[in-house]
Amino acid sequence: MVSSYLSEGLAKSLVKTLREAEERVRKIKKPIEGSPLASAGFVDGSYVLEERRGACLLLLSAATVVVRGGAMSGGLRGSREPIIHVLAPKTYSESRSSLLMAMLELTAAHEMVRQGVEAVFLDGSYTSQLMEPFGFAQDVYHAYSRLGRRVDWSAVEELGEKAAQCFEDLISGGEGTRRKLLEMLRSIGNFSEQLYQTLTEKEQDKRGEKEALDFAVVYVEETAYLSALRALLDLSEALETGLFWVAKDTESRYITEQEGITGWLNDVMLLDYAWRGAEKVYTLLEGKEFGMPRGHVACRRLVEEVYGRWSRYGVAYFKLTRYGATMQASFPVFSREKLLDALETLASLADAVKGYPKPLNYVHNLAVLDASLPSLIADEIYRRASSDDILKFMLKPSGRSLLGLK
């Protein structure tokens, strides 16, 4: 038995809407006519985490591959070389883990741009990269601000500026991607401690210390993330390297809203229907622009530079093979000139049946981490830690596990 909210009437209404829009949407497709790039980099990342009583054990990985003249050469080895990190405090652990993974991907992409590739393809969405400081970081900032304490925000931003400079120096340095991220994680810890002490050293009331610690850590993590994003965008623009984020699935509704279609339909569902039977086609939406996050969510100078220089972006939907799915590519506006060549490159590397570029599939599978690993590693650290080691208490299994309910 299959249950669904999709009644017969609603299903008929949805099909009617699709058919009415089909002809209009078919007309917006254009053929992909470009020249394959001589070199292109591909990167994807993964994370898994295990929540314990006082912290989370996080595993991060990223995989990279460069295609030159049809030949693939490997780089980061993904799940074969994970980065192990104890995430504390646990606040917003999933969102912060995703942020740190994105930071690793951006740093890996920066390394490939330095190697001279003509374009880099990343998994996901450029708009998601710009969205990062708008979500949980603002929640943490508002939670701390609501305490009503007198905060010397100039001191916060001064420390944020020092942190940003440190992160930018690390990313632009000569070490490998994994070593850079490990150094950045250590620096996040150091700057978070300094900021926490700055916020609490004159406070007699201890009730807001959790909010102060959450804010300090998230503010520095967001600063590190935006440093990585800024470094990648700045170098790519200077070297005229294309940056394209490719999304297999997206809930974006640019075209459905443009066509006046409301309801459950998103763009890829509409295009899959209207473009069935088509191949090597695309449509481009230009002139999109992102706003700027408010408040002290990261080093303000960094926020203003990133959103002042690179808030304009484009979105392209494309389908590479007859039976493949419609996908989305989003990119900063300076990559517009390389779009058709980038799509031609993806088409030349696409699986004939599934229509998905083989290098993106390769780095995805190489990066994927086993979800059981964090638990095994956390158990081993917990077992080996001495009885007075703080990690013994932070990585103690959850109450559910101790009671045999997991």
Cβ-proximal residues to 191 (8 Å cutoff; 6+ apart), any chain: 159, 162, 163, 166, 220, 223
State the pLDDT at residue 169. Answer: 96
DSSP 198-218: HHHTT----TTHHHHHHHHHH
CA distances from 118 to 36, 37, 208, 329 (A): 10, 7, 49, 16
333 vs 264: CA distance, rounded Å? 29
Closest CA to 121 of 294, 343, 311: 343
Within 10 Å of residue 172's Cβ, how many Cβ atoms? 14
Residues 374 and 59: beta-carbon distance below 8 Å:
yes
- The C-alpha angle 10, 16, 20, rounded to 5 degrees, equals 145
Which residue has tokens 């517009």? 336
Tokens standing for residue 382: 């917990």
Torsion region of 370: left, alpha or beta (phi above 0 gives left; psi -120 to 50 gives alpha): beta
Pairing type for strands 71-77 and 56-68 reads antiparallel
Please state, as a whole number, how many other Cβ atoms lie within 10 Å of the Cβ of residue 35.
10
In this prediction, residue 401 carries a pLDDT of 57
Q: What is the pLDDT along the chain (406 residues), one digit of tens a residue?
A: 666 766 777 677 777 777 777 888 888 999 999 999 999 999 999 999 999 999 999 999 999 999 998 888 989 999 999 999 999 999 999 999 999 999 999 999 999 999 999 999 999 999 999 999 999 999 999 999 998 888 999 999 999 999 999 999 999 998 899 999 999 999 999 999 999 999 998 776 677 899 999 999 999 999 999 999 999 999 999 999 999 999 988 889 899 888 777 666 789 988 998 999 999 999 999 888 999 999 999 999 999 999 999 999 999 999 999 999 999 999 999 999 999 999 999 999 999 888 999 999 999 999 999 999 999 999 999 999 998 888 888 999 865 555 455 5
Classify residue 103 by burial, with Cβ atoms within 10 Å: 0-12, 13-18, 19+.
buried
C-beta separation of 325 from 248 below 8 A = yes
Q: How far apart are CA 264 and CA 91, in angstroms?
A: 32
Q: Shortest CA distance to 24 belongs to which of 260, 250, 248?
A: 260
Q: What is the pTM of this model?
A: 0.93
Q: What is the pLDDT of residue 402?
A: 52
Please list, in sequence order, all residues whose beta carbon lies within 8 angstroms of the beta carbon of residue 5, skipping any fewer than 6 positions away: none
C-beta of residue 133 within 8 angstroms of C-beta of residue 297: yes
